[in-house]
Amino acid sequence: MSNRSYPSDFKYEVIMAYQNEGYSLRQLCFKYQISKNTFYKWKEKFEKEGLSGLEESKTWKRYSKELKVRAVEEYLSGEYSQDEAIRKYDIS
């Protein structure tokens, strides 16, 4: 997985291209050189938080010990996949 950071206007451009220009997901990812998972994460954040969801965080987000333990336990139990646990607990 890449640690590459993309500007929010680029993320918005990609989402709008998918919604308005009729690209298949495969074509879109090839054109913009991103993975499907990256696109899905951007799209989910955009749908949840709008443009502000596409901004890179400048601070560390803090999580309680209890939240971290619950997320790990649910993942290890097989109840949730890693991505599902991250979404459920809003972990960045």
Q: Identify the domain containing residue 43 by its residue range.
A: 8-54
Identity of residue 25: L
Mean pLDDT, the chain, rounded, equals 89
| Domain shared by 19 and 45, yes or no | yes
Note the pTM of the prediction, 2 decimals: 0.65
Determine, yes or no, domain membership for 3: no
| Domain shared by 81 and 49, yes or no | no
Q: Which CATH number does the domain housing residue 19 bear?
A: 1.10.10
The number of distinct structural domains making up the chain is 2
Furthest-apart CA pair in the chain: how many Å?
44
- The sign of the torsion formed by the CA atoms of 87, 58, 19, 31 equals negative
Q: Identify the pLDDT of residue 27.
A: 95
